[in-house]
Chain A
């Protein structure tokens, strides 16, 4: 396997009125565990059910109800930790985070503050070929999601839907290693890719199954390096947390806005207040949600209803052994085994389904050629039809068949594209279709020579010009191809024309 090395990207620099500024960003990504049942109750997690239909007595916090941990969710958290090359803590514990809100029936969220199940890990965030940021993961903990409050259904009342209450979340906390809006979006993209590879979260941001809180601060160039040396946050600016974003575009826009807001404050001689803010995509601005003084005192303490969670190394080992090949490894293998460029490898490994398609099609063929066909032809065609690769009407074997016909000089490149379209829309075995449709390339020199002679004889004036200027030979090639219905082997045509014009 290839051992890839990367250079870190340059941090984004924003020019203020007086100085240049850099950004420092840390993220808390909430990923909903792909599970049938909730974290501490047997209720279903199905999205889009009737309001308050997926609610057990435990979720509704009826008197005397008790939480019981869902082992499957624990397994997914461990799997995720392993996928992020993180420390798995064999002993972890659940704590209560206390606050009042109507969509939080217990009056507390069960989370893991003091002893999370997953410790330090890392994510390699690809920016462009040869450039990637290594973002350190501080921890991953499990916690319950809250329900949903609906304030716009009635002028006097609010309504509560508890379907999401108690659904398992993994909170993935990064170190402040992200240095710009694009990196932030790329970080979430990479995390999402890994989670989808692992199957522990579907990554559906639209449904809120993957959401991010972003901590943003600004500092003068050079300060961040001091922080990295000492891990002392006093070298950095005061941070603000932008809550609950579920779109890559909003994440970038919010960071950009927030950084400029902070720069303006500091350059005007003010200080940034540490606070929680919300991003308003309609106005493209962040607004204060609550200040540090108004911040809740969550009164975290160990949940006495749950014993510490103890798992065995052997179980962790079993999960580790069952991990799929992850994006970084797959990419390196595609580059090494198939000779792909990093760019092509990135594109093909973005989703496991496209990687699997490519691998099946590339088996026993030239990887680069197949990659070109998949990326340029197939993806474009699927995109036009708004079709997922798993629903592709053209199988890897069919695509491979087209590639084979080109490789064996049976059809030429232009014909291959026509054949691709026919097989894509009508199906069939490419070789048979090419045969039936008479698309096979003419390599019979005699037939081509006759066509060439005919064209030369019919265009004496052009022949004169071309003899003076050999660049005009291309015109003859076009005429011959036209005369042969596009089936002539272009190589042979070129050779013959060059030779005849010389004569």
Chain B
């Protein structure tokens, strides 16, 4: 069997169970692909020894067993935001230089327990703050896709840019991502893969470096919808170590993939039709709508009236939480501590350590967050943003109460953009999240599905938003959309 690294999870699972391939072979194929793809900057800490050890263990577990867990023997990449025991976990930040946790995040432990094989750690924006993977201390990851005949490097999106790049370039079968404002869905859309952010509380946050605790949620980034269902299943669990983890049974997501969406009601929110939105995005959205209609769904126009306040509210709440969450990186106990001069005291140690340990975007958000929480501004910013958040949540509750099963929107306002072009314009960069942040603010599940190519041959994604805790239903609608869109394009290998 050739090109094992290009397999989907589902295909590899079946082949592994049938004894047609071994996890060691799959893993070796991925490790070879990774070694040949340094130009993509996707893997920032490679763990080939751990990978081969786990692959062999998985093969032993698969031996003669028809019903090993679906993820058993599947090689995956892990975003650097997840703490992995004994393996560098530094959230792409200088301040966590040299940090090797003594513990394993619940999500990566769940995957390991299911027999998944960790290939290494994946690039990302520093502390998951960014939409282009350019704030990483490791340098940016690169999108395997290129526009037309151009050689210009494109962003894989962010913050889970390394995960997106690695999956799109077949360096691994799938990867973990995290999504605070769109960090799974936007990079998935930019790289032509599938990414789902489950309902807030589905995946434990324990052991994932916190960015904005009330918004952060882990999810899978995969080559198709079925793989997303399989991998999400393995990542979810109720975790008593995370007070916000939901004590709900995890249904069989893959079993929900019938492709039958007859009678389902799909809402098209008018507020997501933004001024200056490229025609190609508008066209894709219309095509997606038609595909779902053709598949038997009922299409309704809906209104989510507070949408326009979502982005500003998000950029108050997320930095506020981040400013507090990142206070622990002070050089006292772990990670980097700045060299101090004679006579420097504790204040200098904090200032120097944090000034050289955090990049510009992280510093910007820590300062914004500190400002919006400060005395005299708290009500005007943070409290108001919380009220907006409640209204946005209610917008969704209202349309779901009217019988809407899922909402279709574009995933991003554009295709992948050139690296370096937007980096110095934070506001333009923040606009990348315009279609995705509402979902985080409302705690809902959202999935990005590749649905077409733009004129430059770059992938574009559509987003489906589902009811809380109904990821199975959402995945099935996404599956129907995927079937109809028939997206099979792959980036031409240049790396």
Contacts and interface: CB of A to CB of B under 8 A. Distances in A.
Partners in one complex: yes
Interface of A: 57, 60-69, 96, 98, 100-102, 105-108, 158, 160, 297, 299-301, 304-307
Contact of B91 (A63, A297, A304): A63
Contacts of A300: 373, 378
B278 to A, nearest CB: 35
B348 interface: no
B334 interface: yes
A201 B373 CA distance: 34
A98 B328 contact: no
Contacts of A305: 210, 213, 243-244
A108 B330 CA distance: 12
A304 B243 CA distance: 10
Contacts of A106: 327-328
A100 B327 contact: yes
B207 A105 contact: no
Contact of B373 (A64, A67, A100, A301): A301
B350 A100 contact: yes
Given A64-B205, A299-B374, A98 B324 contact: yes
A102 B346 CA distance: 8
B339 interface: no
A67 B101 contact: no
A167 B242 CA distance: 19
Of listed B212, B243, B330, B346, residue having the most chain A CB within 10 A? B243
Contacts of A63: 83, 89, 91, 96, 99, 101, 209-210, 328
Contacts of B105: 64
B242 A66 contact: yes
A65 B206 contact: yes
* A-B pairs with lowest CB-CB distance, top 7: A107-B327, A299-B373, A304-B213, A304-B214, A61-B328, A64-B207, A63-B209
Given A64-B101, A301-B378, A305-B210, 12 more contacts: A63-B99, A63-B328, A64-B205, A96-B324, A102-B330, A106-B327, A299-B375, A301-B382, A304-B212, A304-B321, A305-B213, A305-B244
Contacts of B327: 98, 100, 106-108
26 contacts: A60-B333, A62-B101, A62-B102, A62-B103, A63-B99, A63-B328, A64-B82, A64-B208, A64-B210, A66-B205, A66-B241, A66-B242, A66-B243, A68-B243, A100-B327, A107-B324, A107-B327, A299-B323, A299-B324, A299-B378, A301-B320, A301-B324, A301-B382, A304-B213, A306-B244, A307-B244
B83 A64 contact: yes
A231 to B, nearest CB: 23
Nearest to B212: A304
Contacts of A108: 324, 327
A57 B91 contact: no
A105 B210 contact: no
B123 interface: no
Contacts of B96: 63
B240 interface: yes
Contacts of A100: 327, 330, 350
A61 B330 CA distance: 11
A41 to B, nearest CB: 10
Interface residues of B, number: 43
A68 B241 contact: yes
Interface in B321-346: 321, 323-324, 326-328, 330, 332-334, 346
B155 to A, nearest CB: 26
Contact of B374 (A66, A297, A307): A297
Contacts of B242: 66, 68
A495 to B, nearest CB: 81
Contacts of B244: 304-307
B370 interface: yes
Given A64-B208, A65-B206, A304-B214, A105 B333 contact: yes
A150 to B, nearest CB: 13
Nearest to A149: B346
Contact of B328 (A107, A160, A304, A306): A107
Given A63-B89, A299-B373, A301-B373, A57 B328 contact: no
Nearest to B347: A100
A57 B214 CA distance: 21
A230 B205 CA distance: 49
A109 B380 CA distance: 24
Nearest to B334: A62
Contacts of B210: 63-64, 305
Contacts of A105: 328, 332-333
Contacts of A306: 243-244
A299 B320 CA distance: 9
A297 B375 CA distance: 6
A108 B210 CA distance: 14
A299 B367 CA distance: 12
Interface in B452-484: none
A68 B103 contact: no
Nearest to A94: B243
Nearest to B369: A299
A66 B206 contact: yes
A308 B328 CA distance: 23
A102 B330 CA distance: 8
Interface in B310-327: 320-321, 323-324, 326-327
Interface in B75-109: 82-83, 89, 91, 96, 99, 101-103, 105
Nearest to B209: A63
B243 A67 contact: yes
A63 B82 CA distance: 9
A307 B247 CA distance: 13
A102 B347 CA distance: 10
Interface in B183-222: 205-210, 212-214
Nearest to A68: B243
A243 to B, nearest CB: 19
A169 B99 CA distance: 32
A108 B256 CA distance: 43
B129 to A, nearest CB: 15
